[in-house]
Each structure stands twice: as structure tokens, then as C-alpha cells.
Structure 1
Amino acid sequence: MARATVQDVAKTAGVSVGTVSRVLNGSPAVSAASKEKVTGAIRKLNYRPLASARDLRRDRTMRILALAKNLNSPVISEAFRGFGDAAALSGYVSLIAPTSGDLEREQQLVDMLRNGSVDGLILFSPTMPDADVEALAEQLSVVQVCEIVDSEAAFGVSIDDRQAAFDITRHLIETGSRRLAMIGNRLARSGRLREEGFRAAAAEAGLAPEHLLLADGEFDFHAGRRLAKELLHLDPLPDAVFCGSDTVAAGCVREITDAGLRVPGDIAVAGFDDSVQAEMCVPELTTIRQPAYEMGQVAFEALFARMTGPGGHRRGRIFLSHELVVRGSTKD
């Protein structure tokens, strides 16, 4: 049987994860009724926290730093929430710092780990070269989330981006699309993997991808509109576009519909992430759901092992399962 999680406790008790955390940490800011529900759920599920961090506090800062280029990504935000909730249950404070892709700024923040100002480091989308990430992970407590270097030394948690892109491209082909286009971003490791999956699915079906447009700056709503406008000047038009994120796909849908074309009647559009934008878009986006919150939790568990366990420098990576979510943007 799988080990019970704090989310299982919260669901069984009918309270929030934060309430469970406060009960476990002995906070007085919990009603007697809520405390009774939580303790009952803990007994019922035989839940055990990762460890009691109180015994470690004398030798540790009880702070963990998370670095990301920016906080705009819904996946990074949700993964950080999962990481922060898991960290709080073991008594850790989570700090998050956007680097804006500034390598010097990133190195200054990494020095907080080197000089003992924090106990561990989570990297969401590092700017530093892969070799630097690997060297850092060989010496210190570091875990990567989403964007992970191809190294056994640097532990990471992600989904299989290549397979996920393959699955959603195959879905486009199965719905009848033959002239395929992709709006992607090679600056990110995940973007390069998604391009590989897109190409592999097209090749398996005996199709040559008609067009591959790459963002040369921010990978956002406006990039989706700008690159979709380029697609609309093509003759013939593509009949399906796979976008490397839901935000970009929303911009693509907007540009296509503003041009008087129908989605998916004239051009099907698929995104990636299953963020809130996927359901806000009209029509709602077919996309790939990433278990972002769970990735954050698993990342903390791995980091905790590295910080506290003898020989805890865990290597390799964990790929969590993704899910193809089919909505109106690819299917009438």
C-alpha cells in the first residue's frame, strides 16, 4: 500500500493542507474540532511525517532556497506550492527567488547554500551551464524540478517531456490532422525534448512537420500571437498547431479566431501544462497535464534525504506520469 501523504490526511479530515501542517507542528491557531479531525485522520491512515525536523534545528538554518528564472510559469508556481507545503511539515521555511535569467544574480543566490545561509537548494530553471549544476550537486544538497540536466550526479524530478509531446502530437494526427506545425522554445531543455517528441510522432505517422516556429524571447501569450500570425501567412495553412505551453496556445487561439478562422474547425490547437489558461481559453485547450504539485512534494522528499541522511546524495531522476487532457480546441 502506498504511503499516506499530507494531502490524504487533509482530504480524509475535510480540512486544508495548511491546517494539517499547523496540527503537526503544534500550532495553537487550530480549533479543537479541526485538531480532532486531523488526529483522527492521521490514526486512520497511519500517516507518518518524513521526520521530526525539530531535532535538527540546532545545527541547521531550517531554510531552503528555490531559484527560478521567473514566477510566471503556472507549473513552477504549483510545484513550489507542493514543495513549500511538504517543507513546512518538516519545519522548514521555503524561500523563492526569481533570477530573471541573470547568471551573476543566480550565482550570488547559490552562494547562500555554499556559505550555510540555507540548508538546501531547489533549481527550477537554472541559467548556469549543466556542468556547473552537476558540480554543485556533487558537493551540496541540490534537487532540480522540471528542467533537469542530463547528469546522474544532479538529481531531478520531472515528467517525460519527449513522450508527453509525442502523445499529444499523435492525438492531433488521430483526429485527422496532416499538416502539422509547432510553436516551441529551444532555450529550455524541456522545449528541446518536446520538439523531439513532436518530430518523432510525425515521423511515425509518415508525416513531415510542415513548420516549426521558435520563440526568440519570452515564451508567453504575446509570443503565441506573434508566431501564430506567421503561420497564418502560409499557403496552405497548417491544420494543427502544437504549442509548448498553454499560455502560448492561448495566444495562438486568439490570433487564429481574430483572423476569422475556427478552432478546431480550420486549425486545431494543443497546449501543454494544463494550467488555468487551458480552461479560460475559448475553446478550452487540449493539453498535457503535469502533476506539478506532486513534483514539488517529491522534490522536497529527495532534498530532505540529501540534507539529513548519511550518504543522502541521491542520484538520477524521477519521471512522474503525465496525462493527455482532450478538450474542445482539437475536437468538435
Structure 2
Amino acid sequence: MCQTQQDKEKELSFLKLLQTKLVDGLIFTSIESEWETIASYKECDPIVLCNEYRSEATFRVVRLDQVKGSYLGTLHLIEKGHQKIAYCGGTASELGMDSEKGFRKAIDEFNLQVKEKWIFRDPYSIECGKRVLREIRAMEDRPTAIFTGSDEICCWNH
């Protein structure tokens, strides 16, 4: 298991390990390189994409139901008594859009209001999580919980 930390060069070095048979296979949970670059390693199979939403992908893909997962996560916060919930996730990809759909489905089902200033789009790093937390802590009317689609974003509630 290797962490690229969104570094294309590291990603390519791991693909080369597969190509030279120093590893038996790779599981990617995100891809930083252009698809054509990744696809050029097809003959080095096995490569599995985990939760990648690449329509052009020709490798095996394991995907989660982002709409359902986000709905259930938001529902959990609602069941814990939170009515002021922020959303912190992506919209630039199908994965991010599905995540927000699930969030909004739960919010709408319980007739909760979400202020636009409680919506944070496309932060995926620890540093982004810290920035979001600072922004929320500076608000007078702030959410009591944050739903996030990234494991690097800090979850916070008070």
C-alpha cells in the first residue's frame, strides 16, 4: 500500500514498480495523472480503481454508492440532534456531485435549512480542513456539525 499524496511522480513510480514486477498489483483510490498515462500500464495488470468515477476507465472498478453513503452519514448527524449541518465536499466530479446529492436528500427530507455560507466545495486536504474550521469558528451563526466526503477533512461538532 502506497500513498501518493496527490503527487503524479509518486504515482508513476508505483506504476513502474508494477511494470518491473516488484509489486503484484495496485489499487488506486485516486488518480492524479492523465488517464492516458494510467491506461498505458494496462498490460501490467492487475490494477483496480477504488471509487474512481472515470467513465473512460478500462480497469476493474470498485465503487461505493456515494448518494446513499452521504445520505446515511447526514441522517446520522440529524438523528444525533443536529439541525445546523455544514457540507464540505467536492462538486468538480461526479463523485462530489453524488455526495452532495445524498447530503441534500437527507436535509430536504427533514426540512432543514442550509445556509450557503455553510457549504464548502472542493476542499480535500488536511490544510483545507483547518481553513474550513477557522471559517466556521469565526461565524456568529455556525453549524453544529459538518458532513464531509473526505477523510482528510476534520469532522467537527460542538
Same fold (TM over 0.5): yes
Check conservation: 2:19, 2:41, Cα contact below 8 A.
Answer: no
Residue 199 of structure 1: how far off its partner (Å) = 2.2
Which residue of 212, 215, 221 corresponds with 2:119?
A: 212
- d(CA) in 2 for partners of 1:209 and 1:248? 19
Change beyond 3 A, Cα 1:189–1:100: farther
Q: Which amino acid aligns with 1:219?
A: S
Q: Distance in 2 between matches of 1:164 and 1:153?
A: 25
Q: Which residue type is aligned with residue 213 of structure 1?
A: F
Structure 1 letter corresponding to 2:143: P
Shift of 1:175: 4.5
User: Are residues 142 and 183 of structure 1, via their aligned partners in 2, closer, same or farther at CA, if it must alter by over 3 Å?
Assistant: same
Within a 5 Å distance, the mapping from 1:78-93 to structure 2 comes to: none
Distance verdict in 2 for CA 1:108–1:238, change over 3 Å? closer
CA drift of 1:202 comes to 1.9
Give the aligned residue type for 1:149: Y
Deviation at 1:203, TM superposition (A): 3.0
Tell me how far 1:97 sits from its aligned partner: 3.5
**1:158 positional shift:** 4.5
In structure 2, do the counterparts of structure 1 residues 247 and 108 end up closer, same or farther at CA, with 3 Å as the change threshold?
closer
* Paired position in structure 2 for 1:231: 136
Q: 1:150 to 1:247 in 2, by over 3 A?
A: closer
**Alignment-derived partner of residue 318 in structure 1:** none
TM-score (norm 1): 0.38
Cα distance in 2 between the residues matched to 1:176 and 1:97: 38
Shift in CA distance, 230/193, structure 1 to aligned 2, threshold 3 Å: same
Is the Cα contact below 8 Å between 2:18 and 2:24 reproduced in 1?
A: yes
The verdict on how the C-alpha distance between 1:118 and 1:169 changes in structure 2, with shifts beyond 3 A counting, is: closer
> How many residues end up aligned between the 2 structures?
154
CA distance in 2 between counterparts of 1:141 and 1:229 reads 42
Q: Which residue of 1 aligns with 2:52?
A: 148
Q: Are the structure 2 counterparts of residues 194 and 138 from structure 1 closer, same or farther at C-alpha, using a change threshold of 3 Å? A: farther
Among 92, 97, 102, the residue aligned to 1:197: 102
**CA contact under 8 A between 1:182 and 1:242: conserved in structure 2?**
yes
Higher-Rg structure is 1
Q: Tell me whether 1:180 sits opposite 2:76 in the alignment.
A: no
1:248 to partner: Cα distance: 0.6
Q: How does 1:1-332 map to 2 (within 5 A)?
A: 96-130=1-35, 132-133=37-38, 136-137=41-42, 140-145=45-50, 147-151=51-55, 153-185=58-90, 191-210=96-115, 211-214=118-121, 216=123, 219-220=125-126, 223-244=128-149, 245=151, 248-249=154-155, 252-253=156-157, 263=158
Deviation digits for residues 81-103 of structure 1, max 9, x if unmatched?
xxxxxxxxxxxxxxx43333221
Paired residue secondary structure (2:2): strand
When normalised by structure 2's length, the TM-score is: 0.68
Distance verdict in 2 for CA 1:230–1:135, change over 3 Å: same
- The unaligned stretches of length 5 or more in structure 1 are 1-95, 254-262, 264-332
Runs of at least 5 residues in structure 2 that lack an aligned partner in the other structure: none
Q: In 1, are the aligned partners of 2:125 and 2:152 still within 8 Å (CA)?
A: no
SS at structure 2 position matched to 1:248: coil
Compared with structure 1, are the counterparts of its residues 236 and 118 closer, same or farther at alpha carbon in structure 2 (3 Å cutoff)? closer
Cα deviation for residue 223 of structure 1 reads: 4.3
Counterpart code for 1:203: D
Q: CA deviation at 1:110?
A: 1.3
